[in-house]
Structure 1
Amino acid sequence: MIALAALDIAGTTVEEGGAVYRALHDAVRGHGSTAEVADVARWMGADKRTAIRSLLTIGRTTDVDTVEAAFADFERLLRTAYDETPPVAMPGVLDAFEALRAHGAKIALTTGFSAEVTGLLLDRLGWREGDTVDAVVCTDDVPTGRPAPYMVHRAMERTGVWRATDVLTVGDTVLDLEAGSNAGAGLVIGVLSGGVPRATLAAAPHTHLIDSVGSLPALLAEAHSGAA
């Protein structure tokens, strides 16, 4: 039984053109980091303050004030990017939500974004907590971001699901898969829609790899027929 589906946002359920990683790269470079694009890619799916703190250590010594200034720049750059090119739902995502609900599952979104950026992103999409999805959990809601399991567990708490084996998690990064596995989720699904190579995701803990969330209804149907 799947009681809860906890899905990542950027690269998994939402296409935002990689704006978050461009903004992250530009923000830390603007504060003296010599981080390259490949360095930023290693932090896909992570809490953005944690990512900034680490990236600022490349080429300079960092401090709390610099981290906060870079984080403010990151949010400003991302807001501008979303104004210029609004994010959109990945193909098939809303159909996947319907399929999950048909199987009795509640839907939660989990993300490495702050509450402010998450709210901005969902406003652009017209998605509402309690309507489009049942819960939204961001890094402001937990003591530590991915790969810690806390966002998945907080989603369980908010939706009244108490058995981790009844949870399905979906994400497009290694940290997403590690967080799902660390949470004890019954199904840990990686998607290739975020641009991470299949071989990279395949090396992380998972139960399934699929092309995108749009492929989830077929996977659910197959799992349901196998259990019948």
Structure 2
Amino acid sequence: MTIRLACLDMAGTTVQDDGAVMSAFARAMDAAGIAEGTDERARATQYTLDTMGTSKIEVFRAITGSDERARDANAAFEAAYLDVIRGGAASPIPGAEDAIRRLQENGVRVALTTGFSPATRDALLESLGWTDLTDLALSPADAGRGRPFPDMILTAVVRLGVDDVRDVAVAGDTESDVLSGVRAGASIVAGVSTGTHATEEFSRAGATHVLPSVASLPGIIGL
């Protein structure tokens, strides 16, 4: 097995944000008119946790049942998340940047994938000083569909000129990250324990590995 491309999730996998996602979600629910302390809010919160890693606008469509309310919620979410990361809350997962550089030094291309919009993704990368760190960064809008569909991984395969999906490694902290990797045909699909989900969810989705951190990925590739 030769790995030529690593597709890595952002929040929870390569980036830690001190709970900014759920803080932004609370503002989004307020914007959508789903009041704190209600059963509807509790169900929405649980759904968001269960589907972490998927396209945010799709999550809000499922929660609200309305395109208009979903757009309002998503706009509030993106604005709130940007406020937090521009305040310096986001930082690299320990060892993540070293792992990315180690992969690249050994001929492995690296693509970052996220459920955030391109604008939020790029602002997050800028806040970390990662604008030029990786070979590619993709959002659902760049690929057609977000996770758990394989579109972002397959888009990275095409754009970076990888000949075989079996030459791909995927790492992420959610069940949807793992499922997207499995559906894309990647040889290595690793769940990492630095974010939302744990071994049970990773195993259910078909992970080939469960790692304490993305920092361990070069090691299992043999680098």
**TM-score of the superposed pair, with normalisation by structure 1:** 0.89
Contact 2:53 2:147 in 1 (8 A): yes
The C-alpha deviation readout for 1:118-137, integer Å capped at 9, x for no partner, is 01100101112xx3100111
Taking the aligned partners of 2:79 and 2:101, their CA distance within structure 1 comes to 34
1:151 Cα offset (Å): 0.1
1:159 maps to which residue? 160
Contact 1:139 1:151 in 2 (8 A): yes
One-letter code aligned to 2:203? A
Q: How does 1:1-228 map to 2 (within 5 A)?
A: 1-33=2-34, 34-36=40-42, 37-57=45-65, 62=66, 64-128=67-131, 131-221=132-222
Taking the aligned partners of 2:10 and 2:19, their CA distance within structure 1 comes to 12
Contact 1:28 1:56 in 2 (8 A): no
Taking the aligned partners of 1:197 and 1:178, their CA distance within structure 2 comes to 14
Taking the aligned partners of 2:149 and 2:5, their CA distance within structure 1 comes to 18
Taking the aligned partners of 2:79 and 2:211, their CA distance within structure 1 comes to 33
Contact 1:86 1:124 in 2 (8 A): no
1:27 Cα offset (Å): 0.5
Contact 1:28 1:55 in 2 (8 A): no
The worse-fitting range, judged by mean Cα deviation, of 199-208 and 146-155 is 199-208
One-letter code aligned to 1:201? F
Taking the aligned partners of 1:142 and 1:215, their CA distance within structure 2 comes to 28
Unaligned runs of 5+ in 2: 35-39
Contact 1:32 1:56 in 2 (8 A): no
Contact 1:107 1:134 in 2 (8 A): yes
1:18 Cα offset (Å): 2.4
Q: Residue 207 of structure 2 aligns to a residue in which SS?
A: coil
1:191 Cα offset (Å): 0.2
Taking the aligned partners of 1:142 and 1:126, their CA distance within structure 2 comes to 24
Contact 2:3 2:221 in 1 (8 A): no
Unaligned runs of 5+ in 1: none
1:83 Cα offset (Å): 2.5
The C-alpha deviation readout for 1:203-225, integer Å capped at 9, x for no partner, is 2211111000112233233xx6x
Taking the aligned partners of 2:105 and 2:129, their CA distance within structure 1 comes to 22
Taking the aligned partners of 2:127 and 2:87, their CA distance within structure 1 comes to 11
The worse-fitting range, judged by mean Cα deviation, of 40-49 and 80-89 is 80-89
Contact 2:88 2:127 in 1 (8 A): no
* Structure 1 residue ranges, 4+ long, deviating more than 3 angstroms after superposition: none
The worse-fitting range, judged by mean Cα deviation, of 14-23 and 31-40 is 31-40
Contact 1:25 1:40 in 2 (8 A): no
Q: Residue 203 of structure 1 aligns to a residue in which SS?
A: helix
Contact 1:35 1:56 in 2 (8 A): no
1:202 Cα offset (Å): 2.2
One-letter code aligned to 1:23? A
1:189 Cα offset (Å): 0.8
Q: RMSD value over aligned CA atoms?
A: 1.5
Percent of paired sites with the same residue: 35
**TM-score of the superposed pair, with normalisation by structure 2:** 0.91
